[in-house]
Chain A
Amino acid sequence: MMDWSSWLPRLWEATYLTLYMVSVSALFTVVLGLPLGILLVNSDSRGLAPRPWLNKVLGLVVNVARSLPFIILLVVIIPFTRALVGTIIGPTAAIVPLTIAAVPFFARVVETAIREVDRGLVEAARSMGATNGEIVRKVLIPEALPSILLGVALTVISLISYSAMAGAIGAGGLGDVAIRFGYQRREDTVLLVTVILLIVVVQGIQLLGNWLAARVNRW
């Protein structure tokens, strides 16, 4: 029989660490990935400000970053993480690879969402004398917002899955607990509880994303 009084604080702590890693890296991902996605759309030949070479370079960087399996990325960028955070162990250090893995993913999500905005709307805004900045702020982002919000939910869910891997190399969190205690020490109940916790968190985020997207969708 399990001793819940010792497990509960541990599970609570792990949940907190997972949410901490995921939410901070999600924040950075949106802050960095949104402009990157907008740049990807608008630097191409049909965009607001065509810069073909910049578009190619950005596209290449994004594809390279996305081709690396997360576990490899984690290792490859160790020097960078150390330079930035001062350590490579712990949840704060994990935020660096999590963000780097999620930014290109989210940028592509934003790119797709913005490409779906009717080009007629951009043309109408231009006919009214709007600047490119105004078109991005007042047309592209608001019109793509429902898709972007669903994309944020998608990205956060991917981050949870990545964070389990980060956990395995010392960042802590639910993934760490599941592997170290649930799997390696054969505590089946712990494994089951962490899995249930992960499902609940993922479900919650998806429902929140759906709800927010529906709230801003005027179609």
Chain B
Amino acid sequence: MAGHLQNALPQQSEKMITLKGVSKSFGNGGNAVHALHEVDLEVGRGEIFGVVGASGAGKSTLIRCVNLLEKPDKGSVEVDGQVMTTLGDAELRKARQRIGMIFQLFNLLSSRTAAQNVAFPLEIQKMEKPLREKRVEELLEMVGLTDKAGSYPAQLSGGQKQRVGIARALATNPSVLLCDEATSALDPANTRAILTLLKDLNQRLGLTILLITHEMEVVRQICDHVAILEEGRVVEQGAISDLIANPTSRLSQAFFPPILDSQPAEGSVWAAITFLGGSADEPVLTNLVRKFDVEVNILGGSIQTIGGQRVGQLQVELKGEQTQEAVEHLRELNLRVEVR
């Protein structure tokens, strides 16, 4: 019954962006640079998805493959149910109007005021002038820049320029926003403000955001999903809450770097215990010492809010007769424990 009902309703796909086997290289022959290797990526509707990696990992190429500013050599790209990789020029231009993009260096036209910059995509869309002016006003209000409508980019601060960039990117009501290192040129205060704005737009408009960054801080503050890119390959991908719970994930190790890099002494083990949400409130270690013949020595630890969730990690040294049992006990409490 329920199944029939569901089938009768027009269904929106859960996936907003799907990359399958996307490869891209630049140059040819021996000098070719392979920017992307067989990249698979799935971004769900309404997610804030971060792609992180060092510079040169292929992040820029990856985000440009989504709106086909770079044409993949191989593989397919689908955005909001539309396969981008098979579109003709005119259809591609139409499709791009449904995908907003903001840039590290803002890329505002210096010859246009803030309002005229925001109007640009609407002119491309051939929107009538009165409608356009009304829409521009709404957009500038949305990003809190109503009073800067007549200012030229040279008169704006970095944070203000990126707000204009966001207003411009959202002018045509896109379903997806691509952010190319959107906060990398901003100071910490402006970075926070822009990230807060993006999060707010994500929630208010149901906007799907795909961002690339080299800063884990950006991931920590707003992302709910992440992919880690290394030398053109996706080496890890998933929901942050899943990845962070696993102390062996690269994401977890990026947030909680191992404190000591020497080896544990004979007869003792080192363990990284990850606490999520409520489990941080339990007196876990006290119980451990009471119940088992172990000594617990704390090496280090921290608690962070990652993607809106409190996550703690404690790195401890366990010594004594019952270290194995102690670790088993911790795992029974649904804590993630990695023994080194």
Residue B292 is within 8 A (CB to CB) of chain A in the complex: no
Pair B152/A218 contact, Cβ less than 8 Å? yes
CA distance A129 to B94 in the complex (A): 6
CA distance A118 to B94 in the complex (A): 24
CA distance A105 to B304 in the complex (A): 62
Residue A57 is within 8 A (CB to CB) of chain B in the complex: no
Pair B110/A218 contact, Cβ less than 8 Å? yes
Pair B97/A139 contact, Cβ less than 8 Å? no
Given the complex, which residues of B lie within 8 Å of A176, measured CB to CB?
none
Main secondary structure of the interface of A (DSSP, over half): helix
CA distance A142 to B93 in the complex (A): 22
Residue A63 is within 8 A (CB to CB) of chain B in the complex: no
Given the complex, which residues of B lie within 8 Å of A185, measured CB to CB?
none
Pair B110/A134 contact, Cβ less than 8 Å? no
Pair B110/A219 contact, Cβ less than 8 Å? yes
Given the complex, which residues of B lie within 8 Å of A121, measured CB to CB?
107, 109
Given the complex, which residues of A lie within 8 Å of B67, measured CB to CB?
127
Residue with the highest number of chain B CB atoms closer than 10 Å, among A128, A134, A145: A128
Residue A124 is within 8 A (CB to CB) of chain B in the complex: yes
With known contacts A127-B99, A138-B120, A118–B111 Cβ distance under 8 A? no
Give the residue of A118, A127, A134, A142 whose beta carbon is less than 8 angstroms from that of B69. Answer: A127
CA distance A139 to B121 in the complex (A): 12
Pair B120/A125 contact, Cβ less than 8 Å? yes
Pair B107/A129 contact, Cβ less than 8 Å? no
Q: Which residues between 68 and 113 of chain B lie within 8 Å of chain A, taking CB atoms?
A: 69, 92-97, 99, 101, 103, 105, 107, 109-112
> 1/0 per residue A119-163: CB within 8 Å of B?
011011111111100100011001101000000000000000000
With known contacts A127-B96, A128-B120, A129-B93, A120–B107 Cβ distance under 8 A? yes
Shortest beta-carbon distance from A217 to chain B in Å: 8
With known contacts A127-B96, A127-B99, A142–B124 Cβ distance under 8 A? no
> 1/0 per residue A95-137: CB within 8 Å of B?
0000000000000000000000010110111111111001000
Tally the A-B contacts, defined by beta carbons under 8 Å: 64
Main secondary structure of the interface of B (DSSP, over half): mixed
CA distance A96 to B289 in the complex (A): 99
Shortest beta-carbon distance from B182 to chain A in Å: 13
Pair A142/B99 contact, Cβ less than 8 Å? no
CA distance A130 to B89 in the complex (A): 11
Interface size class for chain A? Answer: 20 to 34
Nearest residue (CB) in A for B92 is A129
Give the residue of B69, B92, B123 whose beta carbon is less than 8 angstroms from that of A123. Answer: B69
Pair B124/A130 contact, Cβ less than 8 Å? yes
> 1/0 per residue B103-135: CB within 8 Å of A?
101010111100000001101110000000000
CA distance A41 to B244 in the complex (A): 49
Nearest residue (CB) in B for A142 is B111
Pair A129/B96 contact, Cβ less than 8 Å? yes
Pair A127/B101 contact, Cβ less than 8 Å? yes
Residue A216 is within 8 A (CB to CB) of chain B in the complex: yes
Q: Which 4 A-B pairs have the closest CB atoms?
A: A124-B107, A129-B93, A129-B96, A218-B152
A-B contact pairs, 22 of them (CB 8 A): A118-B105, A123-B69, A124-B101, A126-B69, A126-B96, A127-B96, A127-B178, A128-B101, A128-B168, A129-B93, A129-B94, A129-B124, A129-B125, A131-B93, A139-B109, A143-B109, A143-B110, A143-B111, A218-B111, A218-B152, A218-B153, A218-B154
